[in-house]
Amino acid sequence: MKVLCINPPDDLAALLGDGASFVSTMEPLGLLYVAAACREAGHEVAFIDAYAENLDEETLMRRIRDAAPQVVSFTSFTSNGGFLYTFGRRLRQEMPGVHVLLGNVHATIYARQYLASGCCDVVVRGEGEEVMPALLRVLEEGGDLATVPSIAYVRDGVVAETGGHAFVRDLSTLPLPARDLTRKELYSFARTPNFSLYRTPEGKTEKHLFSSRGCVNRCTFCVAHKNIGIRVRPIDSVIGEVDLLLREYDAGYIFFCDSLFTSRKKRIIELSDALRHHFPGLRWGCEAHVNTIDEDSVRAMAAGGCVDMNFGIESGVDRLLTAVNKRQTTAQIADAIRMVKRVSRINAIGLFILGLPGERPEDSDATIDFACSLPLDMAQFSILTPYPGSPIFEQLRAEGIIDDGVRPGDTLDPEVWRRYSSYASFSDNKPIWVTPEHSVEGLLAAQKRALRRFYLRPRPFLIQLRRLRPADLLDTARTFFKTFF
């Protein structure tokens, strides 16, 4: 079958305001993994990244008509869920012979409403690499959708589900993501990348990959643990993909986007040793947890080229860390960050969330004080968004406290989802929910105060200044000023 995989567009200017320039344009690897699996199963696959190309609706519709697909498969996030809700209906009306499929977390959560609206034919629930080839085979042969696992569809006017959320147990069976279907020039990290303090040499790109899936933690603000357990790729497979990125994509920096890259000490040491052996001089970064690293693993990672470690610190208040099931204490955080700086030159990057459930204004100040007390090289202070699928969201929805966009008759108000995806610090949009102990104004003020307190100190300020390229200084300074003040 002719399959067209599409990464939908987002209205970044409306969602992010001035912050749009800081968003990295990265290959949608989840969708590219699915594209590769479909191609390996013998289907003709094409790809459009409407997000990276910033396509409007009319242009995207024309591109779809030109491609003349039999199947169109979209990945669905909260930020583009509203677009798919309306565009999918138009697509099915104007191209009635085309099968429209949706996948990813947002589509899974709202499968019943999406299907009832008529914007799609099938929703794939969970990871799609094994489900999609089976689904395409049934569609091609005119078979019974009830035989395909982990999907939702309409049967006799009623939404039906075949049960289960698909996940791939053995990652070694998957082909590498189909990056060859993309346009290379579309992808690069933002001028002040979220992931890295390392300044990639001119002429080189910054690429990302996954060496594992899933997470052992159960943080209540996150949906990553919906992918059951940790599953890792063989080290030789990871090395092969890194080699491809260096040869074919001029990568000068690699970021491992695993939810928890440091989950297994033995494997991380082996992978770091392999990276050092095969790619001396390679620089890379990753996500880490303070309780899954020690001096041996950090030294091995540093020797293997690691220059950035992102830590989800979240809060400087133990009561709040316990409340969101973070499985770490402020003492453990401080010990781990200081150890990293003592035994290596790896940049320690702290990720904080303001506005956690039960957070009072004095708790926000305690988090800011804690961030400034740590030897961090960079910090990010976000305002909590209870994303659909997270335990916090489910609790708030059950209590009728948060608007999930569902309306009577299983219809949707997708405009609500835009508030889940807006960056209040960069735009005029307000957070979708604020803990009762805070006000919207107070929380936004705390975020600005955190940024000023952390970055308007000599060392952090100079670090940020050094990572900018001269041509970007003026625009970046303007955005930073608005964010800080």
DSSP-based three-state secondary structure for 123: strand
Domains of the chain: 2-161 (3.40.50.2300), 188-384+439-484 (3.80.30.20)
Report whether pLDDT(431) > 70.
Answer: yes
Return the H-helix or E-strand segment holding 366: helix 361-373
What pLDDT sits at residue 23? 64
Residues listed for the chain: 485
CA–CA dist 392, 120 (Å, integer): 28
How many percent of the chain have pLDDT more than 90?
75
Report whether pLDDT(425) > 90.
Answer: no
Tens of pLDDT, residues 83-96: 999 999 999 999 99
Beta bridge partners of 234: none
Under the banding of pLDDT at 50, 70 and 90, the label for residue 189 is low
Across the chain, how many H-helices and E-strands are there?
A: 18, 17
What pLDDT sits at residue 10? 84
Report whether pLDDT(471) > 70.
Answer: no
Put simply, whether the predicted model's pTM sits higher than 0.75 gets the answer yes
Cite the beta strand spans of 261-399 per DSSP E. 283-288, 306-314, 347-354, 378-383
| Range of lowest pLDDT (136-140, 150-154, 481-485) | 481-485
DSSP-based three-state secondary structure for 50: coil
What pLDDT sits at residue 192? 47
Buried b (16+ CB within 10 A) or exposed e, 415-435: ebbbbbbbbbbbbebebbbbb
| Range of lowest pLDDT (15-19, 69-73, 237-241) | 15-19
Residue 62: what are its φ and ψ, rounded to 5°? -65, -40
Tell me the average pLDDT across 381-390. Answer: 92
CA–CA dist 67, 56 (Å, integer): 17
Is 283 within 8 Å of 253 (Cβ atoms)?
A: yes
Report whether pLDDT(416) > 90.
Answer: no
Return the H-helix or E-strand segment holding 7: strand 2-7
What pLDDT sits at residue 410? 85
DSSP-based three-state secondary structure for 70: coil
Tens of pLDDT, residues 242-260: 999 999 999 999 999 999 9
What pLDDT sits at residue 468? 67
Tens of pLDDT, residues 111-126: 999 999 999 999 999 9
Determine the angle formed by the axes of helices 458-467 and 440-455, rounding to 10 degrees.
90
Residue with the bigger pLDDT between 235 and 23: it is 235
Cite the beta strand spans of 26-125 per DSSP E. 44-49, 71-75, 99-103, 122-124
DSSP-based three-state secondary structure for 2: strand
Q: Calculate the average pLDDT of the chain.
A: 91
Residue with the bigger pLDDT between 235 and 430: it is 235
What pLDDT sits at residue 191? 45
What pLDDT sits at residue 202? 77
What pLDDT sits at residue 129? 97
| Range of lowest pLDDT (150-154, 189-193, 217-221, 330-334) | 189-193
Read off the amino acid at residue 376.
Answer: L
